[in-house]
Amino acid sequence: MSDDITPRIRVAVEEDASVVAGIHMASRSATMPYLPPQKRDHEQVSRWVRDVVLKRCRTWVAVRRAETVGYAALDGDMLDHLYLRPDVRRQGIGTLLLDEVRRHSPEGLVLHVFQQNIGARAFYERHGFTVLDISDGSRNRENLPDVTLRWTPSSAR
């Protein structure tokens, strides 16, 4: 790939909040149609990204051709978020973000994914994540059944 289309990963900054919010909202809408309609507008989600995600989590963005196309947020050993713009899915960008997160997680990672999110579950399983437990949805805001997945690097096993 030429340099202009090869995504680069960098640490997210406060100025990324608005575009990260847009990616978050667009990705959830496109890939999880079973979710209830979004009640928060773009400005509210931008504030949440700026005031909560970027302050609580180590967050990275994927940038291609000077456009932010995805992000990942790590809270301790919990991968809280990994979202891509819907038009850049299945181009290796999610893997680049996941690889960055794993580099910062030498003891491994856990994450929650909705049981219905077959695409995300397959993505994580292809990258070595295994099922830790299954929930009836009582632990998430959407009240939808979810799965906890865990990745452990081979050096930590």
Tell me: the pLDDT tens digits for 102-143?
999 989 999 999 999 999 999 999 999 999 999 998 888 888
What are phi and psi for residue 74, nearest 5 degrees?
-115, 125
The band of 2, judged by pLDDT with boundaries at 50, 70 and 90, is very low
Query: Considering the entire predicted model, what is its pTM?
Result: 0.91
State the Cα torsion 58-33-47-82 to the nearest 10°. Answer: 10
Lateral strand order in the sheet of 8-11: 8-11, 58-64, 67-75, 78-84, 109-114, 146-151, 130-135
The length of the chain in residues reads: 157
Q: Which pLDDT value is given to residue 39?
A: 87
Which DSSP state fits 39? -
What are phi and psi for residue 101, nearest 5 degrees?
-60, -45
59 CA to centre of own chain: 10
